Amino acid sequence: MATPVEQWVDECARLMKPAKTVWCDGSQAENDRLVDEMLRDGTYVALNEKTHQRCYLHRSNPNDVARTENLTFICTRTKDAAGPTNNWMAPQEAKDKVRPLFDGAMKNRTMYVIPYILGPEKSPYSKVGVEVTDSPYVVASMRIMSRMGTAALHRLGSSDDFVPGMHSLGDLSPDRRFILHFPEEKLIWSVGSGYGGNALLGKKCFALRIASFMAREQGWMAEHMLLLGLEGPSGKTTYMAAAFPSACGKTNLAMMVSSLEKEGYRVKTIGDDIAWMHVAKDGTLRAVNAEAGFFGVAPGTNLKTNPNMMTAFDHDTIFTNTAMTAVSREPWWEGIGTEPHEDLIDWKGQKWTPGSGPAAHPNSRYTVAADQSPSISSHWEDPEGIPISAIIFGGRRAKLAPLVYEARDWNHGVFVGATMASETTAAATGAVGVSRRDPMAMIPFCGYNMADYFQHWLDMGPKIKNAPKIFHVNWFRKDSNGKFLWPGFGENVRVLKWIADRIEGCAAATDTPIGFVPTPSSLTLDGMNISRESLDELLSVNSSDWAQETEATAKFFEIFGDRLPQEITNQQKALSDRLARTTVAAK
């Protein structure tokens, strides 16, 4: 008797009609075969074997370089279940429309079957997915990003407890590109894109959109969050989870080299993008990294901003849409630490000239195994996960939001997350630098109605013993000349230290209408070059600006109608009242 997964794979083969089907085992030998094939057909370009062992450059189709949110759909039975922030199609309509694009899509191609585990191999919280794809680049990427191959098939056995994901490159035309999620039947269909979150179906499609839906049903949380441990001088580690929108600094924070190393503060990485969090038997909130690798933004990565990553990716790494140096064949991007020069080949494979725009695509990325980072925590694969003491929200906000503040309690923290906004980045197609509301950094990734998602967050708090404290950070506040007020990167550890000190009850704060803001002297700023004026501006809370902001958030919440939890409305009102009572909280 065929197992459920074999039956589903047969169905896919009947529809897409591949020349052959290959079940991936995840072995090095299999990867070597794929690399040879990809080097032969141009999918991969070989990089310098001396400086970058087994590293390759992949150039995706120039029309296929970022997630396409406008072509991403949540296909629940009712539109309400998907909510006002998602694109929606009825399941049957979606299938009728998109099935023809899969019909015969793999003629003369190989269909690869990728069984994979999300979460640590032996964790009770982990889940199995199976992706079929005609892209060897997707196979190689999934091998780095998840526990792929035989281990996953073993874990699955003859069970039907897996999330199937059907992927084909199709003809790569944006007109025939669809990323469809069927959360009620836990199914993913993706066609017409070979890039990142559109095509590696274990990532945003399963680990966030489908998983967030499951998490609500089952009482846990699937979040767009990095996970890190801050080691202090006493030897104690404080574990934190942080949600920032795409390309807003998760990877860099999770892997930072602390500027307070001499003082005994070090950051250890657990994950950089997706956290699954459960209330454990002892009542603590425990988080696992759903992934096994980093698919990180290349531009801006250099020996100063992220030395750990510069070490991690000098072997066994895939670079996507970066530039390369023509003679030495090394990857290159803006902000790598060297000036652009005439010897560059740009991300489209053309000779770069100063007039031809950025040499690397702004959303160019590296794909590298997590355990290649020197910063990886020895607990990153703990089956029970790590206990979370702080949840941090943040975004790119040139104005308004101070460097850091602490929410008054869990419900206020949920409100702080729900009112997040950030300037858009190159991680998704569309305009860059436009401020948009992005609750919990989940706007593109929540697989159901976000009003219900807020309620789910509110419901989780009381289930956790010593619920984590909730904070908001902003590394991106600018002065009147448009310059960042805060140096960021390794200096962000100073903010993490303040957060850990707040948890221990030993850091001072000003009680402002938006929450608790550090007093200037409660931040450890020794050895750092920052003026008193910049610091004051970074910590300032302008009540009239915030009053305007609350109007904008109230307007945003209107789209949810009656479904918006009453508690969110209460929090909104309480904030407005506090703002009205206080004219100035800033110093």
What is the smallest separation between the CB atom of 196 and ligand SPV, expressed in angstroms?
Answer: 3
Catalytic residue among 55, 205, 248, 446: 248
**Per-residue string for binding with Mn ion, 231-260, x by CB under 5 A?**
---------------x--------------
Please state, in angstroms and rounded to a whole number, the distance separating the CA atoms of residues 229 and 243: 15
Contact positions with ligand SPV (CB under 6 A) in 232-251: 246
Neighbours of 548 (CB within 10 A): 12
Please state, in angstroms and rounded to a whole number, the distance separating the CA atoms of residues 409 and 461: 10
Q: Name residue, tokens 């904008």.
A: 552
**Per-residue string for binding with ligand SPV, 61-100, x by CB under 6 A?**
------x---------------------------------
Q: Is 320 helix (H, G, I), strand (E, B) or coil?
A: strand
CA distances from 552 to 66, 290, 547 (A): 28, 34, 9
Tell me whether residue 24 is one of the annotated catalytic residues.
no
- Using CB under 6 A, which of 182, 239, 333, 475 touches ligand GTP? 475
Dihedral angle at the C-alpha atoms of 337, 343, 347, 351, nearest 10 degrees? Answer: 150
Contact positions with ligand GTP (CB under 6 A) in 411-450: 427
| Residue whose C-alpha is closest to residue 229's, from 188, 271, 290 | 271
Contact positions with ligand SPV (CB under 6 A) in 179-208: 196-197, 203-204
Contact positions with ligand GTP (CB under 6 A) in 248-307: 248-252, 272-273, 296-297, 299-300, 305
- Using CB under 6 A, which of 60, 246, 321, 429 touches ligand GTP? 246
Interaction of residue 244 with ligand GTP, rule CB under 6 A: yes
Q: What tokens were used for 338?
A: 């060297």
- Using CB under 6 A, which of 148, 427, 493, 499 touches ligand SPV? 427
Return the number of the residue (58 or 203) whose C-beta is nearest ligand SPV.
203
Position with the least CB separation from ligand SPV: 197
What is the smallest separation between the CB atom of 241 and ligand SPV, expressed in angstroms?
Answer: 15
Please state, in angstroms and rounded to a whole number, the distance separating the CA atoms of residues 427 and 425: 5
> From ligand GTP, Mn ion, ligand SPV, none, which one binds at residue 67 (CB under 5 to 8 Å depending on kind)?
ligand SPV
> From Mn ion, ligand SPV, ligand GTP, none, which one binds at residue 183 (CB under 5 to 8 Å depending on kind)?
none
- The conformation of residue 428, written as its DSSP 8-state character, comes to B
CA distances from 576 to 163, 316, 369, 514, 540 (A): 44, 52, 46, 9, 18
CA distances from 148 to 5, 8, 26, 54, 151 (A): 15, 18, 5, 19, 7
Q: How far is CA 32 from its chain centroid?
A: 29
> From ligand GTP, ligand SPV, Mn ion, none, which one binds at residue 252 (CB under 5 to 8 Å depending on kind)?
ligand GTP
Please state, in angstroms and rounded to a whole number, the distance separating the CA atoms of residues 57 and 140: 12
Q: Which residues are annotated as catalytic?
A: 248
Question: What is the contact surface with ligand GTP in residues (CB under 6 A)?
Answer: 244, 246-252, 272-273, 296-297, 299-300, 305, 427, 475-476, 484, 488-489, 492
Which residues lie near ligand SPV (CB under 6 A)? Answer: 67, 196-197, 203-204, 246, 273, 295, 427
